[in-house]
């Protein structure tokens, strides 16, 4: 059942805010400049972003015994997989997708959307999610948050 709920939640939330809405914005805007062949670098950003979102969603289902939805959060703190490197990999994946849109469309509206997208994630994480996680998981979340960065992955030897 968590798989279905995750599929629906992620399909609606990321389907709209990460894919549909920015594509529509880019479609009505004129490019600010031309990246030329460099625009094809968007494809690895899109692939990395999509795979990150899928992988982490599966970790919420399998390891956390819940979903990424705020109304049905995981029962266990998820600190494996990509969560070993960054505390918010689903959001990082969504931001990678937005960077792909910037490279592909070179749209000023997409660039503004990226900034607002990140700001919304920042507010959500710092003022809502982190206090809930601290309250729910206590010392284990405190230790995890001291060890793992919030946004920029720290790639080093994992112990």
CA distances from 156 to 3, 13, 53, 90, 149 (A): 31, 32, 22, 20, 12
Predicted confidence (pLDDT) per residue in 54-63, tens digit? 999 999 888 8
Tokens standing for 109?
Answer: 């509206």
Q: What is the pLDDT of residue 72?
A: 79
Predicted confidence (pLDDT) per residue in 133-158, tens digit? 999 999 999 999 999 999 998 776 55
pLDDT average, residue stretch 53-79: 87
Q: What is the pLDDT of residue 157?
A: 56
Q: Please determine, for residue 93, whether its predicted confidence score (pLDDT) is greater than 60.
A: yes
Q: Is 61 exposed, middle or buried (0-12, 13-18, 19+ CB in 10 A)?
A: buried
**Worst-scoring range by mean pLDDT, 26-35, 86-95, 107-116, 123-132?**
26-35
Left, alpha or beta for 81 (phi > 0: left; psi -120 to 50: alpha)?
left
Q: What is the pLDDT of residue 66?
A: 82
Asked if 69 contacts 8 with a C-beta cutoff of 8 angstroms, the reply is no
Question: Residue 19 and residue 118: Cα distance in Å, rounded?
Answer: 15
Domain boundaries, the chain: 2-147
Predicted confidence (pLDDT) per residue in 1-35, tens digit? 877 877 888 888 888 999 899 989 888 877 777 77
Q: What is the pLDDT of residue 136?
A: 92
Of 63, 88, 67, nearest to 76 by C-alpha is 63
pTM for the full predicted model: 0.88
How is residue 19 annotated by DSSP?
I
Q: What is the pLDDT of residue 51?
A: 96
């Amino acid at each position: 059942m968590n798989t279905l709920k995750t599929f629906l939640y992620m399909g609606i939330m990321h389907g709209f805010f990460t894919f549909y809405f920015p594509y529509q914005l880019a479609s009505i805007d004129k490019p600010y400049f031309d990246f030329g062949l460099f625009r094809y670098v968007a494809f690895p950003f899109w692939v990395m972003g999509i795979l990150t979102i899928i992988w982490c969603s599966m970790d919420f289902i399998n390891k956390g015994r819940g979903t990424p939805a705020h109304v049905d959060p995981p029962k266990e703190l998820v600190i494996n997989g990509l969560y070993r490197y960054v505390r918010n990999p689903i959001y990082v994946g969504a931001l990678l997708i937005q960077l792909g849109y910037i490279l592909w469309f070179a749209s000023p509206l997409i660039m503004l959307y990226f900034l607002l997208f990140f700001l919304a994630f920042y507010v959500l994480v710092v003022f809502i999610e982190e206090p809930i996680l601290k309250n729910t998981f206590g010392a284990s979340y405190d230790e995890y948050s001291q060890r793992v960065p919030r946004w920029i992955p720290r790639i080093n030897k994992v112990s």
